[in-house]
Amino acid sequence: MHGGFVGYGMLDAACPGEVFTSPVPDQMIEAGKGVDGGAGVLHIVKNYTGDVLNFEMAAELCADEGVEVASVLVNDDVAVRDSLYTAGRRGTGATLFVEKIAGALAETGAPLADVARIGREVNERSRSFGVALTPCTVPAAGKPTFELGDTEIELGIGIHGEPGRTRTSHGEAREIVRPAMGAIHDDLPLSGETLVLVNGMGGTPLMELYILFAEVFAYLQEKGATAVRSLVGNYVTSLDMQGFSVTVCQLTDELSRLWDAPVDPRAPLGPMTTAREEPLVDTPFFLAWIEEIATAVQAERDRLTELDAAIGDADHGANLDRGFMAVRQALADGPPGTHGAVLVLAGSTLIRKVGGASGPLYGTAFRQMGRTLGEPPEVALAELAAAFDAALAGVQKLGGAAEGDKTMEDALAAAAAVAVAVAAEASRPWQPSSTPPKRPGPSASSDQPASWGDHTLLGVITHRTA
């Protein structure tokens, strides 16, 4: 579960145990030391006895290593007070809420105590209830964890395949959702703005989960509450179990803001390190890139032509498509051996085949990139960023427009800025909570009338009718 939530805005590390078994302290110690930047580490622990004991032990051992640890215990499940795995309520879907919201606050540089506080607040304001249509099968056991008849469902199950608190017969979605939501509402009366997770247990089709969400939404409205934020999908699962769980968190302005904060979870594919090798790009990369551009132009040909028709030309899509078809053919006839030559050939072909203003401008961009990169077999990201800057400079010199004039240079300037930011990020030692480069774009001028080129006419029309 948690490995997929490692990344910007969420977790810095995850410690997987065996199936339905807690991780061991050694894992947590190494993870804690690996991600600690000096401000301490927050342990987010679901309330299962093995998890609690092992994380408590790990916290003590981390302290011996000089790593400060705070903990948030997640115990949101209202179905049972004690189970085969817990003393008290189980931790289930609210774990995801805690990880996202606490992670967002951590990205701001907030102190460890504040991050722990917000995590505990999320847990206190969240409740969950699970329903199983089938049991799950643990691979080591090779048989279901409990038995259910063909027409039976289990209310109140956990995420480790534990049976629930009662059984009933299959029914329509409304008949299944209402007992689950009723149990949540009885424990924490629902009101105001809420965050809702309708979570698949692993074997439930997404379409059915959305049907269940519609019933959850209707129930909340009956109680005077509103689902203003929601997730529907398989997030906190129980192997192949068919079923679902519902988690509801009563939001505050602060929690809503943190939930909405940017997030980019990506599980690490290799061992955690403090340094990384800078990526290099080669000729096949540029060939594939040009092919991707040509495919996109072909797919958007009619739309580009329609947009261009607003100023009378109605030729932009057709011209660009013709140019990139010619580039494809030129590269297929005999692609040059270096990326610099590939880009120069693409640019020269566009100049010869496109016509109008687009041919010289797009052609210049590619030619300037190729000349800047030259002939080495591979280029680093910093060199690629320099090539984008050269393309931008060439287009600005030829066309006379500047960034903010609402021309193609806005998009090219944004691409150049991203390339510079990515290159700078790749050259730094890796830190688990490093902020990814921001992605600037042409949106800053999207609501302004154009001030250069033929599209100044379109800009005036748009301005007058707005």
Domain residue extents for the chain: 126-251, 280-465
The pLDDT value given to residue 282: 79
| Cα atoms found within 13 Å of the Cα of residue 26, Cβ hemisphere only | 1
Sorted by sequence, the CB contacts under 8 Å of residue 162 that are 6+ apart come out as: 83, 84, 85, 90, 145, 146
Report, as an integer, the average pLDDT of 112-137. 91
Residue 286 pairs in a beta bridge with none
**CATH node for 126-251:** 3.30.1180.20
Task: Pick from 213-222, 284-293, 399-408 the range whose average pLDDT is largest.
Answer: 213-222
Sorted by sequence, the CB contacts under 8 Å of residue 409 that are 6+ apart come out as: 392, 395, 396, 399, 401, 402, 403
Residue 225 pairs in a beta bridge with 192
pLDDT tops 90 at residue 325: yes
463 to each of 306, 307, 445, 466, how far by Cα in Å? 19, 16, 13, 5
Structure tokens at 15: 């410690």
Rounded CA gap, 250 and 466, in Å? 39
Gyration radius (Cα) of the chain, Å: 28
Reported as a single tens digit per residue, the pLDDT across 218-239 is 999 999 999 999 999 888 887 8
Structure tokens at 41: 């580490």
CB 46 within 8 Å of CB 97: no
We find that the CATH architecture of domain 280-465 is: Alpha Horseshoe (1.25)
Instruction: Provide the whole-model pTM.
Output: 0.57
Question: Which has the higher per-residue pLDDT, 271 or 192?
Answer: 192
Question: Which has the higher per-residue pLDDT, 215 or 50?
Answer: 215
Q: Do domains 126-251 and 280-465 have the same CATH topology?
A: no
Report, as an integer, the average pLDDT of 201-217. 89
pLDDT tops 60 at residue 457: no
Catalytic residue list: 160
The pLDDT value given to residue 234: 87
The pLDDT value given to residue 190: 95
Rounded CA gap, 212 and 158, in Å? 18
Q: Amino acid identity of 341? A: A
3-state secondary structure of 302: helix
The pLDDT value given to residue 462: 33
Where does residue 231 rank: exposed (0-12), middle (13-18), buried (19+ CB within 10 A)? middle
Question: Which has the higher per-residue pLDDT, 239 or 251?
Answer: 251
pLDDT tops 70 at residue 46: yes
pLDDT tops 80 at residue 436: no
Report, as an integer, the average pLDDT of 392-410. 83
